[in-house]
Chains A and B, each alone.
Chain A
Amino acid sequence: MEEKRPLDGVKILDFTATVLGPTVTRYLADHGATVVRVESMTHPETTRIATPYAGGISGLNRSGYFATYNSGKLSLTLNMRKLKALEIAKRLVEWADVVIESFVPGVMDRWGLSYDEVSEIKPDIIMASTCLQGQTGPHSAHRGYGQMPSAMAGWFELTGWPDGEPVGPYSAYSDWIDWNYLLISILAALDYRSRTGKGQYIDQSQLESAMHFLSPAILDYNINMHVTTRMGNRDSYAAPHGAYRCRGEDRWCVIAVTSDEEWHAFCQVIGNPDWTKERKFATLMARKENEDELDRLVEEWTINLSPEQVMNLMQTAGVPAGVVETAEDLFRDPQLEHRGHFVVLDHTEMGPHSVGTAVFKLSKCPNSPKFAAPLLGEHNEYVLKELLGMSDEEIADLMAEGVLE
């Protein structure tokens, strides 16, 4: 018998696309929920038509971008321009515990799938909407992707060199914060529903969720009128603190000396050269004042060693350090391997490929994906027949009428 998972029996109707929504539903699927992704053959979702493709060969069922975010889910294709597709969607609402969508506000309403209508069909439904700036307000129609709330919340301004452009954190950073808050809201709503029988509506503004990871800087402005800005890799409470160039091409190791004890250990590891005894490096405050020079001197030492050597020497001596790992490095990181972070799933068209698993382990239940990502429309028959109880004839008619495209 399969081991129990926390969300066994929970049914999710998933109208999301790209990164944020599909991550939420992947976590739900990994923890036992049945997730039906509603897709479209006429408008395949962005990540299905994006690199990287298995073997470098493009195709709707070959993108690793899609496959990693959608392992363990079922795919149903519906052409929502057809009346019968809307009827199927409404029958799936009856089937579902949670409906989740990530359209620009208004799309679900146009389909007759607003929360009011959905809760008419199923009063205890939990419905979650996520969009850039929320369902209401003058900017609710703002379209886009996760890079945009990252810039609006302030991360671009806070990431970069003091003398350089606000380059921002890589890619759709706010999505990666926001999926936490959407997941938490859904799980809390499920908990509440199981106690009270009441469903509810969840409106996520991606900008509003993301700002929780900036709270100290926001309070600093609201109270002290300080406008925090980028400072490279520097840290107010540590020196040396940064990424240092090592031997090899574009190889780096971070070192963070956060206490006097770690400073002495650091000096010992690098062989106590004379400069470490100078007064200008004796205290944290002194090192902060002479940090440019300090960083140059640290790098004179790291440049002769591989990043792995620097990391091992430092950590063995109790000094925080870590290789700036590349994607390739992740696959040979012994700690990630010990944790079983990557699992290999056998995808129908892509073949075996690696998928990252949840960032937490549960001591009593598994939480890695049960199977690989679906082909586009792979579960049409299963969903219509097994979940909605339709007959073969009905399904054949739907196909002939182009409803399942």
Chain B
Amino acid sequence: MSEEAMAPYRVLDLTDERGLLAGKIFADLGADVIKIERPGGDPARNIGPFYKDVPDPQKSLFWFAYNTGKRSITLNIESCEGQELLKSLVKGADLLVDSFPPGYMDKLGLGYQVLSELNPRLVMTSITPFGQTGPYASWKGPDIVPWAMGCYMWMTGEPGRAPLRISHPPQAYLHASAMAAVGSLMALRYRAMTGEGQHVDVSAQQCPVWMLTHTYAYWDLMKVNLGRQGGWRQFGPTRIRTLWPCKDGYITFMFSGGLIGAKGQQRVVELMDRDGMAPDWLKEIDWEEVDALSATQEALEPITEAFGEFFKTKTKAWLLNEAVAGGIMLAPVNTVKDVAEDTQLKARDYWMDVAHPELGTTIAYPGAPCKLTQTPWRIKGRAPFIGEHNGDIYERELGLSWEELVALKGAGVI
């Protein structure tokens, strides 16, 4: 019988688009996640794309994607009454996640110090561009800024042209949000040992830096600044092609050294030979002996050219099938359409249908990121409407009367 890994936990989600994924992760693991929106709705609801291309804060697909399984209440935490209501909620919460600029919560009297006095077991996790303190802490950091300052852009793109980010969707804060979930789980574990909560301080800038261990180690150890190489990669003294045109698009494939790549590279030559495209000198190569990563550029060039000519005659789908069957380390460059139609994902029941009764439809969402036998990841339901659960929380849980709710609404608190 399956259960939910995070079922006992209550999470207060005060993030904007920079942190929504963290709460979704907890919700999909079974936690009770309450998204606290400003009255009128969270600004992230205005981020496209939109359902049927109609801009509407209740129909943002960005919002849908990263708020599944949450409940929503509205609350103006800049008002005194709002602050008191938040404090009441904090008393019963295990985790609070926010993505406000450093100091904002302190200024409202809602900083970690204050909240931890109300609830010493509270874990508070804050996602910011650069961290809570330091010379850049107060600087602005939309996606492209931490992506640039974390070196990732320097490594991406074509030589001679500007460094590139990933066009869409913005990535830096998805990494920061996922790491916020990791940090929160670490802090919850620490709490289980000691009974004490703590403050987790996530820096978006550090996320790309962590990814680039290889790149910074090059500078640290050899004083070499690697750079962007387009569809190629520099390995020691040689440049190796990673992006190859094929008959109906592109594939990625990379020569590998000795034993690792031998089987697959030999298989490509066999396939070429079947079509009469393998010259004798290519067939004579013993791939277990050729360490393609340390071969000379001169030796690699004719091989690259021969492989390239062959790939151009085959489709992505054909090449993928041969890759799986023959141990070739090759993969197609897919569009979202290819992904939606992928047979492996279907065979593994990856897609999760989520009901949107108000839209009269169900929508297929990316499903469990990992398959857990005992506590499966599961989308509990669609993203909430603005303040959809005000009644649940304010009336039934905090015991406010209907009159009090009307008054709070009139005063712009909820």
On whether the beta carbons of B167 and A212 are closer than 8 Å, the reply is no
Query: How would residues 200 to 238 of chain B score, 1 for a CB under 8 Å from any chain A CB and 0 otherwise?
Result: 111101110111111111111110111110110101100
Contact of A252 among B163, B166, B193 (CB under 8 A): B163
On whether the beta carbons of B185 and A330 are closer than 8 Å, the reply is no
* Interface membership of B250, Cβ < 8 A: yes
Q: Which of A45-53, A80-88, A379-387 contacts B (4 or more CB under 8 A)?
A: A45-53
* Interface membership of B381, Cβ < 8 A: no
On whether the beta carbons of B372 and A335 are closer than 8 Å, the reply is no
The interface residues of chain B lying within 8 Å CB-to-CB of A248 are none
Query: How would residues 228 to 254 of chain A score, 1 for a CB under 8 Å from any chain B CB and 0 otherwise?
Result: 111111111110011111000010111
The 7 closest A-B pairs by CB, nearest first: A64-B217, A338-B134, A200-B374, A180-B178, A148-B331, A215-B65, A327-B219
Q: Which of A267-275, A281-289, A355-363, A390-398 contacts B (4 or more CB under 8 A)?
A: A355-363
* Interface membership of A110, Cβ < 8 A: no
Given A167-B230, A334-B134, 8 additional A-B pairs, CB 8 A:
A156-B250, A164-B158, A165-B230, A166-B243, A208-B368, A215-B365, A256-B145, A339-B134
* Interface membership of B61, Cβ < 8 A: yes
Contact of B152 among A56, A169, A212, A338 (CB under 8 A): A169
* Interface membership of B23, Cβ < 8 A: no
* Interface membership of B299, Cβ < 8 A: no
* Interface membership of B58, Cβ < 8 A: no
On whether the beta carbons of B219 and A331 are closer than 8 Å, the reply is yes
Closest to B222 in A: A52
Closest to A210 in B: B369
The interface residues of chain A lying within 8 Å CB-to-CB of B47 are 216, 237
* Interface membership of A6, Cβ < 8 A: yes
Interface size class of A (residues with CB under 8 A): 35 or more
On whether the beta carbons of A324 and B190 are closer than 8 Å, the reply is no
Q: Which of B34-42, B340-348, B389-397, B402-410 contacts A (4 or more CB under 8 A)?
A: B340-348
On whether the beta carbons of A361 and B144 are closer than 8 Å, the reply is no
The interface residues of chain A lying within 8 Å CB-to-CB of B337 are 221, 227
Interface residues of B in 65-114 (CB under 8 A from A): 65-66, 112
On whether the beta carbons of B370 and A56 are closer than 8 Å, the reply is no
Contact of A171 among B200, B206, B233 (CB under 8 A): B233
* Interface membership of B8, Cβ < 8 A: yes
Closest to A320 in B: B140
On whether the beta carbons of A187 and B182 are closer than 8 Å, the reply is yes
Number of interface residues, chain B, beta carbon within 8 A: 160
A86 to B406, CA, bound (A): 69
A173 to B242, CA, bound (A): 13
On whether the beta carbons of A189 and B220 are closer than 8 Å, the reply is no
Q: Which of B280-288, B302-310, B321-329 contacts A (4 or more CB under 8 A)?
A: B321-329
* Interface membership of B180, Cβ < 8 A: yes
Query: How would residues 141 to 153 of chain B score, 1 for a CB under 8 Å from any chain A CB and 0 otherwise?
Result: 1111111111111
Closest to A209 in B: B369
On whether the beta carbons of B231 and A165 are closer than 8 Å, the reply is yes
The interface residues of chain A lying within 8 Å CB-to-CB of B202 are 359-360
* Interface membership of B387, Cβ < 8 A: no
Residue with the greatest number of chain A CB neighbours at <10 A, chosen from B133, B242, B252? B252
On whether the beta carbons of B186 and A230 are closer than 8 Å, the reply is no
* Interface membership of B115, Cβ < 8 A: no
A168 to B249, CA, bound (A): 14
Query: How would residues 198 to 232 of chain A score, 1 for a CB under 8 Å from any chain B CB and 0 otherwise?
Result: 11111111011101111111111111101111111
On whether the beta carbons of A202 and B142 are closer than 8 Å, the reply is no
**Binding site of B, secondary structure by majority: helix, strand, loop or mixed?**
mixed
* Interface membership of B164, Cβ < 8 A: yes
The interface residues of chain A lying within 8 Å CB-to-CB of B175 are 176-177, 180, 213, 359
* Interface membership of A41, Cβ < 8 A: no
On whether the beta carbons of B185 and A159 are closer than 8 Å, the reply is no
**Binding site of A, secondary structure by majority: helix, strand, loop or mixed?**
mixed
* Interface membership of A389, Cβ < 8 A: no
Minimum distance in angstroms from A387 CB to a CB of chain B: 22
Contact of B167 among A67, A140, A231 (CB under 8 A): A231
A250 to B199, CA, bound (A): 40
A218 to B332, CA, bound (A): 17
The interface residues of chain B lying within 8 Å CB-to-CB of A159 are 156, 164-167
* A217-B152 CB under 8 A given contacts A64-B220, A192-B374, A338-B135: no
* A339-B375 CB under 8 A given contacts A320-B141, A322-B148: no
Residue with the greatest number of chain A CB neighbours at <10 A, chosen from B149, B167, B260? B167
The interface residues of chain B lying within 8 Å CB-to-CB of A54 are 221
The interface residues of chain B lying within 8 Å CB-to-CB of A234 are 167
On whether the beta carbons of B340 and A218 are closer than 8 Å, the reply is yes
Minimum distance in angstroms from A218 CB to a CB of chain B: 6
Minimum distance in angstroms from B347 CB to a CB of chain A: 4
On whether the beta carbons of A180 and B182 are closer than 8 Å, the reply is yes
A50 to B218, CA, bound (A): 11
On whether the beta carbons of A184 and B181 are closer than 8 Å, the reply is yes
Contact of B112 among A43, A169, A338, A363 (CB under 8 A): A363
On whether the beta carbons of B370 and A202 are closer than 8 Å, the reply is yes
On whether the beta carbons of B339 and A154 are closer than 8 Å, the reply is yes
On whether the beta carbons of B219 and A328 are closer than 8 Å, the reply is yes
Minimum distance in angstroms from A89 CB to a CB of chain B: 22
On whether the beta carbons of A218 and B339 are closer than 8 Å, the reply is yes
Contact of B49 among A211, A226, A320 (CB under 8 A): A226
The interface residues of chain B lying within 8 Å CB-to-CB of A67 are 217
On whether the beta carbons of A222 and B340 are closer than 8 Å, the reply is yes
The interface residues of chain B lying within 8 Å CB-to-CB of A51 are 218, 222, 235-236
Query: How would residues 331 to 343 of chain A score, 1 for a CB under 8 Å from any chain B CB and 0 otherwise?
Result: 1011110110110
Interface residues of A in 134-179 (CB under 8 A from B): 134, 136-145, 147-161, 164-171, 173, 176-177
A148 to B188, CA, bound (A): 34
A223 to B181, CA, bound (A): 29
A224 to B368, CA, bound (A): 23
* Interface membership of A318, Cβ < 8 A: yes
A187 to B192, CA, bound (A): 13
* Interface membership of B297, Cβ < 8 A: no
On whether the beta carbons of B252 and A151 are closer than 8 Å, the reply is yes
* Interface membership of B400, Cβ < 8 A: no
Closest to A128 in B: B370
The interface residues of chain B lying within 8 Å CB-to-CB of A173 are 211
On whether the beta carbons of B179 and A153 are closer than 8 Å, the reply is no
